[in-house]
A and B are shown apart, each in its own frame.
Chain A
Amino acid sequence: EVKLEESGGGLVQPGGSMKLSCVASGFTFSNYWMNWVRQSPEKGLEWVAEIRLKSNNYATHYAESVKGRFTISRDDSKSSVYLQMNNLRAEDTGIYYCTLLGADWFAYWGQGTLVTVSA
C-alpha cells in the first residue's frame, strides 16, 4: 500500500522559514518523480514544485509564485522528499500535499500538512 506522510507544518511569521518533510512507503521511491501541491480556499489546488530522478540529475521545477523562495529536494535512501520554504508570505498559507507522479497524473496524495503564515 502506497503511503505518503507529511510533517513540519505549523504557524510561521511573514518572512520566516519552514521545512516540510514527506516520508514515502509502499513503492520504489527512487523510481518516481515527486511533487508538492498546495490547497487554499482563495487559490484552490496549486502545483508548487517537482523533483525528478537521479537519472535526471534530480532536476527541479517550480511554480512562478514560489521560484527563488522554495527548494524541493529528496533523499532516496530515506524515501523522503522535502520542501524548504523561505521568505514566507501570507499567500503561502494552505495545506501542503506530497504527491507521487504516475505517468503525468498525481496518482497518490498524502494527508497534507497545514502551513499558516501570519503575524
Chain B
Amino acid sequence: QIVLTQSPAIMSASLGERVTMTCTASSSVSSSYLHWYQQKPGSSPKLWIYSTSNLASGVPARFSGSGSGTSYSLTISSMEAEDAATYYCHQYHRSPPTFGGGTKLEIK
C-alpha cells in the first residue's frame, strides 16, 4: 500500500505568517488522487483540498495546494487563528486508500 508521510508532525505559526506543510508518498500518486482534510478537536475531518489544488466549498482563498509524483504540499499564505487544526493528506490513487499521520498546526 502507498504510505503517506507528513512533515512536520507538529508546527506552530504566528498570526499572519506563511505556513507550508508537506506530504510525501512512498510511490508516485497521480495529482488527481491526492487530497487534504482539516480536523479540529472533537470534530470529524472535513474535505479541505481535493485533487492536489482544488479548494473545497467554503475554504478560504489563503489556502493552496501543490505537488506531483511523490511530493505534495499545503500552504497557508497568512496564518489566521481559525486555521489551527490538524491537516491530513489522503491518496486514492491505489487501493487501499491511505492517510498521512497528520500535521498539527498550532498558533505561536
Q: Which residues of A contact B (CB under 8 A)?
A: 44-47, 61, 63-64, 97, 102-112
- Counting contact residues on chain B (CB < 8 A from A), the size range is 20 to 34
Instruction: Check A47 against B96 for contact (C-beta < 8 Å).
Output: yes
Instruction: Check B92 against A110 for contact (C-beta < 8 Å).
Output: no
Instruction: Check A105 against B35 for contact (C-beta < 8 Å).
Output: yes
Instruction: Check B99 against A105 for contact (C-beta < 8 Å).
Output: no
Q: Output the nearest chain A residue to B6 by Cβ-Cβ distance.
A: A44
Instruction: Check A110 against B95 for contact (C-beta < 8 Å).
Output: no
Residue of A64, A105, A108 with highest tally of chain B CB at under 10 A: A105
**Does B102 count as interface, using CB distance less than 8 angstroms?**
yes
Residues of chain B within 8 A (CB-CB) of A46 are 99
Residue among A103, A104, A105, A109 making CB contact with B44, cutoff 8 Å:
A109
Residue among A63, A109, A112 making CB contact with B96, cutoff 8 Å:
A63
Instruction: Check B95 against A45 for contact (C-beta < 8 Å).
Output: no
Residue among A64, A97, A105, A111 making CB contact with B47, cutoff 8 Å:
A105
Q: Output the nearest chain A residue to B99 by Cβ-Cβ distance.
A: A45
> How far does the alpha carbon of A112 sit from the alpha carbon of B39 in the complex, in Å?
13
Q: Output the nearest chain B residue to A101 by Cβ-Cβ distance.
A: B92
Residues of chain A within 8 A (CB-CB) of B44 are 97, 109-112
> How far does the alpha carbon of A62 sit from the alpha carbon of B68 in the complex, in Å?
28
Instruction: Check A45 against B47 for contact (C-beta < 8 Å).
Output: no
Instruction: Check B98 against A47 for contact (C-beta < 8 Å).
Output: yes
Residue among B45, B96, B101 making CB contact with A106, cutoff 8 Å:
B45
Residues of chain A within 8 A (CB-CB) of B37 are 106
Report if A104-B92 is in contact (Cβ < 8 Å); known contacts: A44-B99, A44-B102, A47-B98: yes
Report if A45-B45 is in contact (Cβ < 8 Å); known contacts: A104-B33, A106-B37: yes
> How far does the alpha carbon of A64 sit from the alpha carbon of B44 in the complex, in Å?
24
